[in-house]
Amino acid sequence: MPIDQPPSEDDRTLDARIRQMVDDIERGDDEAPELAAPVDEPEGQAAFGAASGRGIETAVRDILTEIGEDPEREGLLRTPERMHRMWLELTCGYRVDPDRLINGAVFDVGYSEMVVIKGIPFYSLCEHHMLPFFGTAAVGYLPRGRVIGLSKIPRVVEMYARRLQVQERMTQQVADFLQQRLNPYGVGVVIEAEHLCMAMRGVQKGGATMVTSSVLGTFRTSKETRDEFMAHLERAVPRA
């Protein structure tokens, strides 16, 4: 396939698909678009045209050839195209606009007890091997008169998970984001994940999980606050 061909129907479909995924993270499918206050189009908007780039497909064909495969055999024929689509989907967090995500979902309230949301599932990719790491995130914060809609927190996690990551940085980014946007007394984030680059490469047998945490503000300075957060995490999730 020539590299310089114009965007096809499939490319436009792929662009729309990625735009939809980004919209879902920014707004959630539970919010009708008209309910969200208008926001300026993100500067990265033009980047959606990148979906028509053929670089990924060329690279995947090169990889197939290098490992001794035949990119022309039937089972592999559409693999470069599938991977092109998949990589854009798995890394669509780069395209999420945090202002849109948070827009209209931060509320001033008198509530000042700890808010904890845990068991947030996520899938990410380690930046060293581009293999998946996945698990759950727990997020807690102590509001200083300002809270964020609960449904937004899993999407903040997703915004950072759908990028190339290291688990430590992702943990820190979620904590920093909430600290900056909500200015709470403190934030705690704990992420537990299994890394396929460890499990599959034989460095560590599968099943080992890595736990990272980031504590800011009173979650760092007050043992009482930290203990309260940890107690929430240890409590079993009630069965539905």
CA pseudo-torsion sign 29, 35, 36, 38 = positive
Near Zn ion in 108-127, by CB under 5 A: 126
Closer residue to Zn ion in complex, CB, 47/203: 203
Contacting Zn ion (CB under 5 A), which of 12, 73, 82, 128?
128
Among 19, 54, 129, 169, binds Zn ion (CB under 5 A): 129
Residue numbers 72-91 binding Zn ion by CB under 5 A: none
**Closest CB to Zn ion among residues 78, 201:** 201
Q: Which of 50, 131, 58, 60 minimizes the C-alpha distance to 95?
A: 50
Q: Decide whether 49 or 206 has the Cβ nearer to Zn ion.
A: 206
CB-closest chain residue to Zn ion: 197
C-alpha to C-alpha distance for 41 and 205, rounded to whole angstroms: 45
Give the pair of three-digit tokens for residue 100. 């849109």
CA distances to 28, 46, 107, 178 from 102, rounded to whole Å, are 11, 21, 11, 10
201 scored as a contact of Zn ion (CB under 5 A)? no
Asked if 197 is part of the footprint of Zn ion (rule: CB under 5 A), the reply reads yes
One-letter amino acid at 89 equals E
Tokens of 131: 């293999």
CA gap 182, 106 in Å, rounded: 8
Nearest approach in angstroms of CB 197 to Zn ion is 3
Contact indicator for 203, 172 with CB cutoff of 8 Å: no
As a whole number of angstroms, the distance between CA 165 and CA 125 comes to 6
Pick the closer one to Zn ion by CB: 78 or 128: 128
The residue count for binding Zn ion (CB under 5 A) is 4
State the Cα–Cα distance between residues 26 and 97, nearest whole angstrom.
7
* Distance in Å, CB of 171 to Zn ion, minimum: 16
Min dist. Cβ of residue 131 to Zn ion (A): 6
What is the closest distance, in whole angstroms, from the C-beta atom of residue 126 to Zn ion in the complex?
A: 3
Note the residues at the interface with Zn ion (CB under 5 A): 126, 128-129, 197
